[in-house]
Every structure is written in structure tokens, then in C-alpha cells.
Amino acid sequence: MFRFLTAGESHGQCLTAIVEGIPAGLKINLEEMNAQMARRQKGYGRGGRMTIETDKVDILSGVRFGETMGDPITLRVVNKDWENWTDRMSVMGTPTWTKVTAARPGHADYVGVKKYNREDIRDILERSSARETAARVAAGAVARQFLDACGINIVSQVINIGGVKADTTNIDYKTLKPNNSDLNCNDADAEQKMHEVIRDAGQAGDTLGGVFEVVVQNMPIGVGSHIQWDRRLDMQLAGAMMSIQAIKGVEIGEGFGYANKPGSKLHDEMFYDENKNVYRKTNHAGGIEGGMSNGEPIIVRACMKPIPTLMTPLHSIDIESKEEVLACKERSDVCAVQAASVVGEAMVALTIAKAVIETFGGSCMADLLNNIKSYNERIKG
Ligand SMILES: Cc1cc2nc3c(=O)[nH]c(=O)nc-3n(C[C@H](O)[C@H](O)[C@H](O)COP(=O)(O)O)c2cc1C
Ligand SMILES: C=C(O[C@@H]1CC(C(=O)O)=C[C@@H](OP(=O)(O)O)[C@H]1O)C(=O)O
């Protein structure tokens, strides 16, 4: 069984992740893991916190001489900012600070203090913060290396920020490569405009959301299953994406576009060629039919809402006095869609890794890769 958990508060000592179920014998490249961590910190529109942190992964267990042993893998990412928060984030001792009581609309603040019976919103915001996504990207970096060994690639691109849309008409999803642009956008003109709207929003004390898509290339067919609701790959991918802070919509392939045209225009017709075997000329399904991968690139799109902490704060209430106040604002991102796209890649990598391990089994990489090879030979035949 493959699973992972994260722990840690935004301004606590560190974040941790435990990844269990990666087969033994996978070579781990720590440099490559840290390159993923750095990608999550990029992007125009991030707040002051990103100038404090330089996220690096420490591997605390499960890897020996650069190779997995089948044991749970423990990962740690230190919060450099913790040094500035030791008074407010002390594990033991007596509180000496002022409580946060002005709830932010759109954040977990109000519901969290009510549900968990807390008087200080900090008890909620520390864990609801998307700082937690650093641990997910660390875990996802292990899953990515596992998928890489299976020949499966994951890339992403930002296609909309604050209503500025990238032109994706000429994108070939089979060959789309990672890009190093600042906002992870493949349309340079649109990216320029995205910069402008983020700058303007920041100057107005406002925030922006957007849309990104994650693409899985070179998937073997038949990962996931039509047999049971929770084994459907589309269900697992949608849940994984929706679990990311601020993601409010997910679609696969044509998604909501399926509502606009008849079936004759949208289902991907099948063709046969001796070299290509069974193939499609279109990929409206986004690589999944009947809850299973169909061999075409998997395309998962996610919509992120604008960041809820505004520097021109919204109308709210003080949870203690019940007086009308302006929502609290310490420091915040203006737009983090590029960072969310990197987190999206990590969540897709973790989800696909789980499904591949369930489909092909194997306690060690050698068995798993052999299983994939003989399965692919049978399918081709
Ligand atoms: C990469 C990333 C960065 C984020 N940065 C901030 C931020 O700086 N300030 C903020 O208020 N929310 C930020 N958010 C969004 C909140 O964490 C999120 O809206 C909040 O936890 C409430 O959850 P919900 O939006 O899913 O309901 C960020 C989200 C992501 C994915
Ligand atoms: C720390 C990260 O994102 C944070 C997510 C976040 C939130 O409320 O979700 C609030 C901000 O935290 P802070 O108040 O410390 O500036 C962001 O910087 C990160 O991505 O590493």
C-alpha cells in the first residue's frame, strides 16, 4: 500500500512528510528533489516569506546510500522563519503574545476556532497555511523519481491568471516540456500581461487566482479501474487536486466543456495502424476512460481562488468581542498560481505513483519494472 502524510505548522520548527510504499531499490537524487522545492518558491506575486526561506529536504529515514529499502521515508523541511517566531510558536512555556482575533474571510480562521474550541486564530492558521505544500512537494519529489524510473513524466503550465488567458491551441501535450519561465506559462505575451495584472492587484492591496494544468505523459494503459468508485483514476486525481489549499475547481480533459457540444464532436474516435497500434487523433477525454488511463496524456486542470489575505483587508468580525473589524493581515502572497502548479504536479505524481504501485505491485523496483514490461508486451500483442 502506498500512502503519505504531512505534519508541521507554518512558523513551527519544520515540516515533515512520511512516504510509505515506495518499492525497494529506487535510486534517490536529492539534488533533483531540491530543484522541485526551489520551483515551488518561484513566481512573481509571492510575498515576503519566500525571501526568508530556501527550502531544502533532509531525508531522515528510508534511504540508505542513495537507495530506498522499502521502509517509510521521512522527509524534513526546516522553516528558517521559525527563529523569528519562537515566542509565538513555543512548544512548551507560557504565552506572552497578543492573540489573532480578526478572522479572514476565505481562510480557515473562523470555522477552525469554532470547531476546535480555540481562542487564538493562530492555532488554526498555522496548519491551514499552504506552507504545508512544501512537505507535499518533498513527498511528490520522491513519487516523481519513482515514476521517472517507470518512464512516466509529469509537467504543468499556468494557463490563466486573473482572467488573462494563455493561448494553448498549438500545445502538443505528448511532448510538452517543463518550462523555466517565471510564471510557468508557455505563452510569453500572456505571461507579460499576467505580470501586469499581478503588479496592479498588489498595488491595490488585492489578490488574484487562476488556472493551471498538469499533464502526465507516457502512461501505460489501464492504470486505475472501472470496478469500484474509489479505484477510478479520475476520482483520485480530482480529490488530490481539490485537497490543495485554495483549489476550487478541477476538470479532466474537456471537463465542463463537455456540456457545450454533442457526443459526435467530443468522443475520441479510435484508429488502427501497425506501428501505432490503436490510436486517437483527439484527446478530449484527457487520457482517462472508465476510470482508467487510456495511454493518451492525462490532462488535469485546476482553478485556484484569489488569495484570501488582502492587504486592503475585507470586512469581518473580531471572534472575541464580536465587533466589526477589518480582517487581519500580517504578510501574504498576491498570487501563487505558479507555486500551486508545482504543488499540483506533486499531488498528481503521488496519486499516479499510488495507482501504478497498486496496478503493477512489487516489493522491489526490479519486480515492478518487469511487471510493467510483460504487461506492455501483452497489451501490444
Ligand atoms: C502555494 C499557495 C500559497 C498560498 N499563499 C497564501 C497566502 O500567502 N495568504 C493566504 O491568505 N492564503 C494563501 N493561500 C491560500 C490559503 O492557504 C487557502 O485559501 C486557505 O488555507 C483556505 O483554504 P481553502 O481556500 O481551500 O478554503 C495559498 C495557497 C497556495 C496553494
Ligand atoms: C509559507 C508559504 O506560503 C504561505 C501560505 C500562506 C497561507 O495562508 O496559506 C500564508 C503566507 O505565509 P506567511 O504568513 O508566513 O507569509 C505564505 O507565505 C510557502 O508557500 O512556503
H/E stretch holding 67: strand 67-68
The residue whose C-alpha atom lies closest to atom 11 belonging to ligand 1 is 309
Give the model confidence (pLDDT) of 264-302 as tens digits: 999 999 999 988 889 999 999 999 999 999 999 999 999
Q: Would you say 46 is a known binding-site residue?
A: yes
The residue whose C-alpha atom lies closest to atom 19 belonging to ligand 2 is 131
Nearest CA-CA partner of 208 in 305, 104, 341: 305
Q: Please state the separation of Cα 329 from the chain's center in Å.
A: 25
Around ligand 1, the residues with Cβ closer than 6 Å are 47, 106-108, 128-130, 133, 244-246, 305, 307-309, 332-333, 336, 339-340, 343
Give the model confidence (pLDDT) of 238-268 as tens digits: 999 999 999 999 999 999 999 999 999 999 9
Q: Note the ligand closest to the C-alpha atom of 88.
A: 2
Which one-letter DSSP state was computed for residue 41? T
Q: Are 155 and 188 in contact (CB under 8 A)?
A: no
Nearest CA-CA partner of 173 in 146, 190, 153: 153
Domains of the chain: 3-379 (3.60.150.10)
pLDDT recorded at residue 93? 87
Spacing, Cα 99 to ligand 1 middle (Å): 21
pLDDT recorded at residue 126? 97
Spatial distance between the Cα atoms of 217 and 152, rounded to a whole number of angstroms: 6
Q: Would you say 108 is a known binding-site residue?
A: no
Q: Would you say 246 is a known binding-site residue?
A: yes
CA atoms within 13 A on the CB side of 114: 7
Q: Which residue has the cell 487536486?
A: 241
> How far apart, in Å, are the Cα atoms of 327 and each of 43, 102, 209, 313?
26, 5, 19, 5
Q: Would you say 307 is a known binding-site residue?
A: yes
Which one-letter DSSP state was computed for residue 279? E
By most ligand atoms within 8 Å of CB, the mutation choice from 53, 127, 332, 342 for ligand 2 is 332
Q: Which residue has the cell 494553448?
A: 168
- Dihedral over Cα of 262, 263, 266, 271: its sign: negative
Query: Which residues are CB-neighbours of 85 under 8 A, at least 6 positions away?
Result: 11, 12
Q: Would you say 245 is a known binding-site residue?
A: yes
Helices in 90-232 by DSSP H: which ranges?
A: 109-116, 122-128, 133-149, 188-203
pLDDT recorded at residue 193? 98
Q: Which three cell numbers stand for residue 276?
A: 501505432
- Please check the confidence at residue 180 and state whether its pLDDT lies above 90: no
Around ligand 2, the residues with Cβ closer than 6 Å are 10, 47, 49, 53, 129-131, 133-134, 245, 330-333, 339
Give the model confidence (pLDDT) of 19-43 as tens digits: 999 999 999 999 999 999 999 999 9
Average confidence (pLDDT) over 291-318: 96
By most ligand atoms within 8 Å of CB, the mutation choice from 183, 245, 332, 347 for ligand 1 is 245
Rounded to two decimals, the ipTM of the complex is 0.98
Arithmetic mean of pLDDT over the chain: 96
The residue whose C-alpha atom lies closest to atom 4 belonging to ligand 2 is 131
Nearest CA-CA partner of 8 in 122, 140, 126, 139: 126
Spatial distance between the Cα atoms of 192 and 164, rounded to a whole number of angstroms: 10
Q: Would you say 174 is a known binding-site residue?
A: no
Spatial distance between the Cα atoms of 36 and 33, rounded to a whole number of angstroms: 5
Spatial distance between the Cα atoms of 76 and 147, rounded to a whole number of angstroms: 22
The residue whose C-alpha atom lies closest to atom 12 belonging to ligand 1 is 307
State what percent of residues in the chain have pLDDT above 70.
Answer: 100
